[in-house]
């Protein structure tokens, strides 16, 4: 693991930096999620046109063919400059890599390009009302009917399902097989009568995620990914990409927040001086800096492993756990520094001023649940990274 950038990586970083400075579309609209998604779609089109979508995807699939380090440099730089997220964040981080790893040639030809352009948004239909951490217990059924599958069941917490054209759907195709072996991974067309989505309102007041109901929805055989009965392996690829994709953008995001937190501490009176001069607040801010640095070094360790093996491994779970802990501590500390004032401002969506800390604090509560709860990540690290005895 070499933590210094090579001359060509530095050149790449400078290119990314100046392109983002010249093309940054400004802050996201503060209106509703529909406006934010439209803004992000425009931004993704711009990224794609300039060759910044699918940075580490092979060129033959429409990507830039860059290294994973370069992908990480782009994520870090884009977040440092507070560039918007692309609209199709799940398609880029998970859908594309899954189709590249497990899809047929026809699937690669059909799905990859509209993921990159943002023309077709993807969502992830894994969790169900009674199956979250224990994903393999899921009950949504797919029954073969000629050259199609008929799907009945319910998913929940499905982020951006209301905007999605395609759903990465895991369904049970064999109820007699052991639970991990009876699953199949489908690409479900969300634009059909058998699929209904209902947004759920989060603690922030936004409705990013949804309940999704399948009532005899249809999927052609051609949309099975990785083979019938092989859904568990394909789902694991999806989850490993989800966690691994997060690290470098998350580090920059926390570094930005730490900068804002230090500014807040310098400007807020506390105990006869400012919060920045108060030993209690100073030490907590210093502790957060130390934890972010540890997270950054661990992220490089994970990236080195991924580059050696070609696929993201269980190490990505560590970064996701650290990110959730640090982000929750950081936003909580911001409210402590604001003191009584923190109870007055109500977080408004994507606002950067007035209520931004309240919004971030409320949104951060989900960090230790989404993409695998912290408890589950600790189990993965114990069993698959440290080699401790298995729970079951
Ligand atoms: C903002 C947000 C967005 C999301 N987006 C999506 C999405 O797009 N697609 C999707 O499919 N899902 C999505 N999810 C769902 C998410 O993946 C699940 O909430 C998560 O996996 C936990 O499942 P659960 O909610 O059913 O909790 P449960 O699995 O019921 O867990 C309840 C509690 O028990 C603990 N627990 C459970 N099993 C164990 C164990 N073996 N050892 C120790 N502790 C355990 C958990 O840590 C948790 O504290 C999203 C969630 C959030 C919050």
Q: What is the DSSP string of 154-213?
A: EEES-TTGGG-SEEEEEEES-SSS-TTTSEEEEEEESSSTTEEEEE---TTS----EEEE
Asked whether residue 229 carries a pLDDT value surpassing 90, the answer given is yes
Residue 166 pairs in a beta bridge with 122, 189
How confident is the model over 184-212, as a mean pLDDT?
95
Asked whether residue 175 carries a pLDDT value surpassing 50, the answer given is yes
Q: Where are the domains of the chain?
A: 7-87, 122-229, 246-385
For ligand 1, what atom is nearest to the CA of residue 130?
26
For ligand 1, what atom is nearest to the CA of residue 155?
11
Pocket test for ligand 1, best of 129, 136, 202, 369 (most atoms within 8 A of CB): 369
208-224 burial: b if 16+ Cβ within 10 Å, else e: bbbbbbbeebbbeeebb
The CA distance from 84 to 144, in Å, is 41
**Cα-to-centroid distance, 325 and ligand 1 (Å):** 16
**For the ranges 233-247, 273-287, 349-363, the one whose mean pLDDT is highest:** 273-287
How confident is the model over 227-245, as a mean pLDDT?
89
Q: Which residue has the higher pLDDT, 304 or 150?
A: 150
The CA distance from 361 to 384, in Å, is 31
- Per-residue pLDDT reduced to its tens digit, 72-86: 899 999 999 999 999
**Cα-to-centroid distance, 24 and ligand 1 (Å):** 35
Pocket test for ligand 1, best of 373, 377, 379, 382 (most atoms within 8 A of CB): 373
215 three-state secondary structure: strand
Poorest-pLDDT segment among 18-27, 76-85, 256-265, 310-319:
310-319
Share of the chain above pLDDT 70, in %: 96
Give the CATH number of domain 122-229; options: 3.40.109.10, 3.40.640.10, 2.40.110.10, 1.10.645.10.
Answer: 2.40.110.10
How confident is the model over 39-52, as a mean pLDDT?
97
Pocket test for ligand 1, best of 133, 370, 390 (most atoms within 8 A of CB): 133
Contact between residue 92 and residue 43 where contact means Cβ atoms under 8 Å apart: no
**Residues near ligand 1 (Cβ within 6 A):** 123-127, 132-133, 157-159, 209, 366, 369-370, 372-373, 375-376, 379
Asked whether residue 376 carries a pLDDT value surpassing 90, the answer given is yes
**Cα-to-centroid distance, 361 and ligand 1 (Å):** 19
Fold of the 7-87 domain: Butyryl-Coa Dehydrogenase, subunit A; domain 1 (1.10.540)
Q: Which residue has the higher pLDDT, 322 or 346?
A: 322
Q: What is the pLDDT of residue 346?
A: 56
Element holding 270 (H helix, E strand) = strand 269-270
Q: How confident is the model at residue 345 (pLDDT cuts 50, 70, 90)?
A: low
**Cα-to-centroid distance, 265 and ligand 1 (Å):** 34
Q: What is the pLDDT of residue 353?
A: 41
Q: How confident is the model at residue 350 (pLDDT cuts 50, 70, 90)?
A: very low
Asked whether residue 321 carries a pLDDT value surpassing 50, the answer given is yes
Share of the chain above pLDDT 90, in %: 78
Q: What is the pLDDT of residue 205?
A: 84
Q: What is the pLDDT of residue 310?
A: 75
Q: How confident is the model at residue 68 (pLDDT cuts 50, 70, 90)?
A: confident
How confident is the model over 355-366, as a mean pLDDT?
92
Residue nearest (by alpha carbon) to ligand 1 atom 50: 370
Q: What is the pLDDT of residue 354?
A: 53
The CA distance from 209 to 370, in Å, is 11
Contact between residue 250 and residue 323 where contact means Cβ atoms under 8 Å apart: yes
Query: Do the domains 246-385 and 122-229 match in fold?
Result: no
The CA distance from 368 to 327, in Å, is 10
How confident is the model over 102-112, as a mean pLDDT?
98
The CA distance from 319 to 299, in Å, is 6
How confident is the model over 120-137, as a mean pLDDT?
97
Helices (H), 104-143: 105-117
CA dihedral 312, 226, 229, 123 (to 10 degrees): 70
How many C-alpha atoms does 205 have within 13 Å on its Cβ side? Answer: 12
Q: CA torsion sign, 39 to 51 to 298 to 303?
A: positive
The CA distance from 167 to 88, in Å, is 12
Question: pTM for this one?
Answer: 0.93
| Residues annotated catalytic, as ranges | 242
**107: which 2 tokens?**
């699937």
Q: State how far Cα 328 lies from the chain centre.
A: 17
How confident is the model over 329-334, as a mean pLDDT?
97
Asked whether residue 48 carries a pLDDT value surpassing 50, the answer given is yes
Q: How confident is the model at residue 127 (pLDDT cuts 50, 70, 90)?
A: very high
Residue nearest (by alpha carbon) to ligand 1 atom 38: 133
Q: How confident is the model at residue 352 (pLDDT cuts 50, 70, 90)?
A: very low
CA 273 to each of CA 260, 284, 286, 337, 339: distance values in angstroms, whole numbers, following the listed order: 19, 17, 18, 13, 14
For ligand 1, what atom is nearest to the CA of residue 374?
47
Asked whether residue 2 carries a pLDDT value surpassing 80, the answer given is no
Fold of the 246-385 domain: Butyryl-CoA Dehydrogenase, subunit A; domain 3 (1.20.140)
Q: Which residue has the higher pLDDT, 245 or 60?
A: 60
**Cα-to-centroid distance, 134 and ligand 1 (Å):** 9
Asked whether residue 348 carries a pLDDT value surpassing 80, the answer given is no
The CA distance from 246 to 260, in Å, is 21
């Amino acid at each position: 693991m070499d933590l210094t950038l090579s001359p060509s990586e530095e050149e790449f970083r400078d290119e990314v930096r100046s392109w983002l400075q010249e093309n940054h579309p400004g802050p996201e609209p503060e209106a509703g999620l529909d406006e934010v998604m439209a803004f992000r779609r425009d931004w993704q089109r711009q990224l794609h046109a300039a060759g910044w979508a699918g940075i580490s995807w092979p060129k033959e699939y429409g990507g830039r063919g860059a290294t994973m380090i370069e992908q990480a440099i782009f994520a870090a730089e884009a977040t440092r400059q507070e560039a918007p997220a692309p609209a199709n964040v799940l398609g880029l981080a998970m859908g594309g890599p899954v189709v590249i790893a497990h899809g047929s040639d026809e699937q690669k030809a059909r799905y990859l390009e509209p993921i990159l352009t943002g023309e077709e948004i993807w969502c992830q239909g894994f969790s169900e009302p009674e199956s979250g951490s224990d994903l393999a217990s899921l009950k949504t059924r797919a029954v073969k009917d000629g050259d199609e599958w008929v799907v009945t069941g319910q998913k929940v917490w499905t982020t951006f399902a209301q905007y999605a054209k395609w759903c990465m759907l895991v369904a049970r195709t064999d109820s007699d097989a052991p639970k991990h072996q009876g699953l199949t991974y489908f690409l479900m067309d969300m634009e059909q009568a058998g699929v209904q989505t209902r947004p759920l309102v989060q603690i922030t007041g936004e409705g990013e995620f949804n309940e999704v109901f399948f009532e005899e929805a249809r999927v052609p055989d051609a949309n099975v990914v990785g083979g019938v009965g092989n859904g568990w392996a394909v789902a694991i690829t999806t989850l490993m990409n989800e966690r691994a994709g997060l690290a470098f953008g998350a580090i920059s995001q926390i570094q930005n927040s730490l900068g804002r937190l230090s500014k807040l501490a310098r400007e807020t009176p506390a105990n006869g001086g400012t919060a920045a001069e108060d030993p209690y607040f100073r030490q907590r801010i210093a502790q957060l800096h130390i934890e972010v640095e540890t997270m950054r070094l661990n992220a490089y360790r994970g990236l080195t492993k991924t580059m050696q093996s070609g696929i993201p491994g269980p190490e990505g779970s560590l970064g996701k756990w650290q990110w959730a802990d640090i982000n929750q501590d950081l936003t909580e500390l911001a409210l402590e520094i604001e003191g009584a004032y923190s109870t007055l401002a109500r977080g408004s969506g994507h606002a950067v001023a007035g209520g931004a800390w309240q919004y971030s604090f409320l949104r951060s509560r989900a960090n230790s649940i989404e993409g695998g709860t912290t408890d589950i990540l600790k189990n993965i690290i114990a069993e698959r990274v440290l080699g401790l005895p298995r729970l079951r």
